[in-house]
Chains A and B, each alone.
Chain A
């Protein structure tokens, strides 16, 4: 355990935690956009900046250390966050997430040149990182610098995409479009059919590609995964217990495998708007 000070108050922190972790645990409001609980720290949006010994640091990538004295409300911190929001608002003036966050800092309209006709992507890379973490790496950033964007290989339908929708559902600005019907899904221009239940033949909530992918990753037969809600529910808790100790357990967990229900949304979307926030 180490003791760190945030805004004059001492907190106990565990070795290996970041300053943002500690702040979140203690309900200290620090806004963040590219941080995602299930992913490794990325440090790209610079929304979560704090001040340490007069220097601005991103709290999501700052490991706690003994006697750290962190300021989250200094003028410099506010200025940097405001510049970041001003810039993001110029990039995607129509993003609700950014508008909302900007308003907390008293910004309703960017003072900079606003882009029109661009989507709401803020390049937080949550989508690409989620996809990579789940094992597909179907999408990536393309180009560099101010031309950077999220894309698929050669701009085509991504061959490795299994239609899990994790990218879209975790995108803080809801930029990634997808369509969903009972029979199938479309994302990144690629169409997917839902797998049939291996027991009753009804449609499941997984795409065929997802079933194949899970089976391959876990070494379990495809039938394990191809189950509709109803049939899955009938499975005993014991079967599930077996599942979570098998080698595919982390994948199951990542997708939030709950009793009988596979839910693609388990890596929770986390554009974190702090609960209480002083206006500045």
Chain B
């Protein structure tokens, strides 16, 4: 099937939609990286067998599909049944027969496989009744988990490529740029630069060749929003790229994908091949003058290679080190030609903007931040996973509404947003709206959307040290402030957490920060001090506690803490048995005692006690 014009494509989109309407009953198995790792492919096979055995006619009575990630991987493997929206979690291949027998054939719900809300302890049947999903607004992730990413027809069936069709039929490149500008779309990869403006700069360059690069490097540890989009809805990324390329006048595109993402690569490759076969990608797209093709480049895995100029060098086979700017890539990028680099999520927003209109998108959000943002919620929160909310939602909405609050009902202490070089925001800021400017004003950043929740048992100096060390390890080492500065910063923080800090260290940290923040060549160094500066801003007393009182208020830094047993002790002897160095003494049913001289502060007793009788000081 090769469409020679946009009308043919339109016909196909309509017929795919009609086919989806006809078979409304859908059994969907999540085949994202997380669920596959937990055996979801075997579940899909088992379901297929069971359905065949019972003579259910696939694609007539019911469709069985493997979809992309739902973002709730912790509860995987997930199986959902539509249109009833029944949500099964932690499914096993052995459950297949029962699912087919009861749910598919009789419409019964299997209680055992339902999700239990950790807050209310109630079972929840339907997808959108689960608080984790109920409070989200899925725009970019709308198709993830709902369609088979390997089937272009599935994408057509949800209106896929109708934005491309619309653009080719109704808009000139300037019109596209205006729409994206009017929508107020800003980059989701870090800087938050206005996408339309960036495109316009590139469009204004005269050159025989221009490139559009999709940045799928996603180096933030623990983040997987871009992976989920590339895996679960690859055509949306492609369609966004095509529209962007049409706008700036590029005829070649590159998707830079991190090498740890084999499934994303597989799905993107399939999408590219299918789009080419349809005449949607390649020479004279849908019979127009617009030609554009896409290739995949696999990243080496260094965090800094996600930085756009380092990425350019990496694609060109050079060392992945940032380049000085100016010249900006929009003027002089890949192979010296004008190049636009956009994040996966940024591009995946573009078709929606064209389809639903700039006004609709602009209406969503807060102040100068529009649309939605996907966050990767992790840490000490009940529900972890990918969450998508409109810009302007509060941190409380996400952490307590969607995330279900802090694990074990401990007090919330801080949340780090924006990835490893984001800042830590305290409880007093929980009700602030999440938008680019507010986060920056509060010492953090939107970044790519990492979100790590911390409870009261977190040491903020230790957190700062952890991220500085991470960034030090990821620094490319080209410029002095970042390479040498982060190393020195980590020595100082190391000392403080070991109780060897000096009062003047605080001043030293501040001074170093000014140098690193202002002097570094690229944004890695320029933002690297955020974790330190923000913890100093909101938790300076913890630094002083370490330095002056030799105490770690979070109870984390080993050289500064002692474990003790309080009178809550019931004498159950569990701790004594857990202690690897046998330094807990006490008789059964009597108060136990720790020999501080022998204690190695391993914390085994602390985690073993069921009566909360062991305290850290």
Contacts of B478 in A (CB 8 A): 44, 123, 125
Q: Which of A24-32, A78-86, A212-220, A229-237 contacts B (4 or more CB under 8 A)?
A: A78-86
A144 near B302: Cβ-Cβ < 8 Å: yes
B476 and A46: CB pair below 8 A? no
Instruction: Assess the A83–B512 pair: CB atoms within 8 A.
Output: yes
Q: For chain B, give the interface size range.
A: 20 to 34
Instruction: Say whether B488 faces chain A, with CB atoms less than 8 Å apart.
Output: yes
* Total A-B Cβ pairs within 8 A: 103
A264 to nearest B CB, angstroms? 27
Q: Are B488 and A90 in contact (CB under 8 A)?
A: yes
Q: Are B481 and A146 closer than 8 Å at their CB atoms?
A: no
Minimum C-beta distance from A126 to chain B (A): 13
A211 at the interface (CB under 8 A from B): no
Question: Are A123 and B483 touching (Cβ within 8 A)?
Answer: yes
- Could you tell me the distance in whole angstroms from the C-beta of B467 to the nearest C-beta in chain A? 14
**What residues of chain B lie closer than 8 Å to A87, measured between beta carbons?**
480-481, 484-485, 488, 515
B485-526 with Cβ < 8 A to chain A: 485-488, 491, 508, 511-512, 514-516, 518-521
Most A CB atoms within 10 A — which of B302, B483, B508, B511?
B483
Most buried by A among B319, B472, B478, B485: B478
Chain B hits for A63, CB < 8 A: 326-327
Contact A146–B521 (Cβ < 8 Å): no
Q: Are B515 and A146 in contact (CB under 8 A)?
A: no
**Of B476, B481, B487, B491, which is within 8 A of A84 by CB?**
B481
User: Closest CB-CB distance, A142 to chain B, in whole Å?
Assistant: 10
Q: Is A107 an interface residue (CB 8 A)?
A: no
Chain B minimum-CB-distance residue to A62: B326
CB of B486 within 8 A of CB of A83, answer no
Counting chain A residues whose Cβ lies within 8 A of the other chain, the interface size class is: 35 or more
Contact B476 A145 (CB under 8 A): yes
A82-140 at interface with B (beta carbon < 8 Å):
82-84, 86-88, 90-91, 111-113, 122-123, 125
Contact A83 B474 (CB under 8 A): no
Complex partner residue of B324 from A58, A76, A141, A143, CB under 8 angstroms: A58
Contact between B479 and A56 (Cβ–Cβ < 8 Å)?
A: no
* Cα distance A49–B516 in the bound complex, in angstroms: 12
> Contact: A144 with B481, CB < 8 Å?
no
Q: Are B477 and A80 in contact (CB under 8 A)?
A: no
Question: Is B473 among interface residues, defined by CB-CB distance under 8 A?
Answer: yes
Is A147 interfacial (CB 8 A cutoff)? yes
Distance between Cα atoms of A141 and B477 in the complex (Å)? 10
User: CB-CB < 8 A to A256: which residues of B?
Assistant: none
Which B63-108 residues have C-beta < 8 A from chain A? none
Provided the pairs A43-B324, A146-B486 are in contact, do residues A83 and B519 lie with their beta carbons within 8 angstroms?
yes
- Which residues from A are CB-within-8-Å of B485? 83, 87
Asked whether any CB of chain B lies closer than 8 Å to the CB of A279, the reply is: no
Contact of B472 among A47, A141, A146 (CB under 8 A): A146
| Given A79-B511, A79-B514, residue A122 in contact with residue B480 (CB < 8 A) | yes
Does B475 reach chain A (CB closer than 8 Å)?
yes
Q: Does A61 contact B (CB under 8 A)?
A: yes
Q: A58, A88, A145 — which one has the most chain B CB atoms within 10 A of its CB?
A: A145
Which secondary structure characterizes the binding site on chain B?
helix
Chain A residues closer than 8 Å to B486, beta-carbon distance: 146
Pairwise interchain contact B515-A111, C-beta atoms closer than 8 A: no
Say yes or no: is A148 at the interface (Cβ < 8 Å to chain B).
Answer: yes
Cβ–Cβ < 8 Å partners of A49 in chain B: 518-519
**A111 with B481: CB separation less than 8 A:** no
- Known contacts: A46-B519, A83-B514, A84-B515. The answer to whether A41 contacts B324 by CB under 8 A is yes
Query: Contact check: which of B327, B475, B480, B491 meets A44 at CB < 8 Å?
Result: B480
Once the chains are docked, how many angstroms separate the CA of A47 from the CA of B508? 19
B487: chain A residues at CB < 8 Å are 146
Q: Which of A41, A62, A144 contacts B476 (CB 8 A)?
A: A144
B585 shortest CB reach to chain A, Å: 42
**A45: Cβ under 8 A from any B Cβ:** yes
Residues of A within 8 A of B475 (CB): 144-146
A55 to B, closest residue via Cβ: B518
Q: A80-B515, A112-B508 are in contact. Are A43 and B479 (CB under 8 A)?
A: yes
Across the interface, A80 reaches (CB within 8 A) one of B472, B491, B514, namely: B514
Instruction: Collect the chain B residues with CB atoms within 8 Å of residue A47's CB.
Output: 480
If A87-B481, A90-B484, A112-B508 touch, whether A46 touches B472 (CB-CB below 8 Å) is no
Report the bound CA distance from A90 to B319 in whole Å.
Answer: 27
Bound state CA distance, A87 and B484, in angstroms?
6
How long is the Cα–Cα vector from A62 to B327 in the complex, in angstroms?
A: 9
Contact of B484 among A55, A58, A79, A146 (CB under 8 A): A146
A256 to B40, CA, bound (A): 69
**Nearest opposing residue in chain A for B474, CB measure:** A145
State which of A61, A84, A148 has its C-beta within 8 Å of the C-beta of B477: A148
Query: Are A113 and B488 in touch, CB under 8 angstroms?
Result: yes
Given contacts A41-B324, A144-B477, A146-B477, contact A80 B518 (CB under 8 A): yes
Contacting pair B481 A145 (CB below 8 A): no
Q: What are 18 A-B pairs with beta-carbon distances under 8 A?
A: A44-B480, A45-B480, A47-B480, A55-B518, A63-B327, A80-B514, A82-B515, A83-B511, A84-B515, A87-B485, A112-B488, A112-B491, A113-B491, A125-B478, A145-B473, A146-B472, A146-B477, A148-B477
Apart from A44-B478, A87-B485, what 8 extra A-B contacts exist at CB < 8 Å?
A: A44-B479, A44-B480, A56-B519, A80-B481, A80-B515, A80-B519, A112-B488, A123-B480
User: Which 7 residue pairs across A and B have the least CB separation, nearest first?
Assistant: A83-B515, A148-B477, A61-B324, A43-B324, A87-B484, A56-B518, A145-B475
